[in-house]
């Protein structure tokens, strides 16, 4: 069944190329469009003269200019033979190469992972993270090793779609000392998990420690907006824009956010 599906997909991909070889489009020279345009202009000049829009002198001058341009269009060149050779080579060589590579390296009979196998892998990851958590808890909170370990824990939990566990890891990092970047990550995780009140309360405590941090100030407005308080969000972002440098690259994004507020 796998081979039949692969062959069908390959055939569907190569059909346009085969159709081009079977029914090639008529060859047109580059000046055909120009000549058609000039003929249309001559016909329009004749209509304008017959309707009295152009007198004889103006008509003659315009007609002469159009005819001069038409004469300047190069004559069509005969089509060169052999243009289909690359298409034929592609139609034959590409499928053959793909088939050969798949025969050498592909494993068409490999079954997909079962639910039990995926469950076992998830349980194994959970055990490893639990072991890492136990080791990190025993380390001094402010040590570089603990900080790096909790960062890995937070990234792993966010990738697994567990924002609560990621937030707990960021909290452990902040126990070793305030870091506005980590604080911004924690606030973002709280917002992503729709814990808007917790995010607003946390940002209220974090902003006095880093009043000029753009990320924290933006997230403060974002949390208010997500919580359904557009006026508070507008006030936070207005203050952020008022203190922003003229060439700040994020100003447009904040302005668009403000415009989207109800």
Tell me the per-residue pLDDT of 208-234, one tens digit each, with 9 for 90 and over.
Answer: 999 999 999 999 999 999 999 999 999
pLDDT band at 258 (very low <50, low <70, confident <90, very high): very high
Of the pLDDT bands very low, low, confident and very high (cuts 50, 70, 90), residue 42 is: confident
Percent of the chain with pLDDT over 70: 68
Better pLDDT: 60 or 23: 60
> Is-contact 240 214, C-beta < 8 A?
yes
Residues 6+ apart with CB under 8 A from 194: 226
| CATH level 2 (architecture), domain 115-259 | Alpha Horseshoe (1.25)
Question: pLDDT digit string (tens) for 52-104?
Answer: 877 887 777 777 777 767 766 665 555 454 456 665 666 666 666 666 666 66
**HSE (side-chain half, CA atoms, 13 Å) at 254:** 23
Express each pLDDT in 155-200 by its tens digit: 999 888 899 999 999 999 999 899 999 999 999 999 999 999 999 9
More confident residue, 20 or 147: 147
Domain residue ranges of the chain, discontinuous segments joined by +: 1-20+84-110, 32-73, 115-259
112 CB contacts (<8 Å, ≥6 apart)? none
Give the per-residue pLDDT at 69.
72
Helices (H), ranges, the chain: 2-22, 32-50, 56-72, 85-105, 115-137, 144-159, 163-175, 180-192, 196-206, 214-226, 230-242, 251-259
Q: What are phi and psi of 119, to 5 degrees?
A: -65, -40
pTM of the model: 0.55
């Amino acid at each position: 069944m796998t081979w039949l599906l692969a062959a069908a997909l390959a055939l569907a991909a190569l059909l346009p190329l085969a159709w081009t070889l079977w029914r090639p489009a008529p060859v047109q020279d580059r000046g055909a469009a120009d000549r058609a345009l000039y003929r249309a202009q001559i016909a329009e000049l004749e209509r304008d003269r017959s309707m009295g829009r152009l007198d004889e002198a103006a008509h003659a001058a315009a007609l002469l200019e159009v005819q001069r341009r038409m004469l300047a269009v190069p004559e069509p060149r005969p089509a060169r033979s052999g243009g289909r050779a690359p298409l034929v080579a592609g139609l034959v060589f590409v499928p053959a190469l793909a088939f050969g590579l798949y025969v050498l390296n592909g494993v068409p009979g490999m079954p997909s992972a079962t639910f039990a196998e995926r469950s076992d892998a998830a349980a194994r990851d959970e055990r490893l993270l639990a072991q890492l958590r136990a080791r990190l808890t025993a380390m001094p909170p402010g040590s570089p090793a603990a900080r790096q370990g909790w960062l890995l824990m937070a990234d792993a939990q966010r990738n697994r779609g567990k924002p609560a566990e990621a937030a707990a890891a960021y909290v452990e990092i902040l126990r070793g000392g305030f870091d506005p970047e980590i604080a911004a990550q924690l606030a973002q995780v709280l917002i992503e998990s729709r814990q808007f009140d917790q995010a607003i309360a946390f940002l209220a405590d974090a902003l006095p420690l880093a009043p000029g941090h753009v990320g924290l100030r933006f997230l403060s407005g974002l949390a208010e907006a997500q919580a359904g308080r557009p006026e508070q969000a507008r006030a936070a972002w207005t203050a952020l824009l008022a203190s922003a440098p003229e060439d700040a690259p994020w100003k447009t994004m904040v302005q668009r956010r403000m415009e989207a507020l109800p």
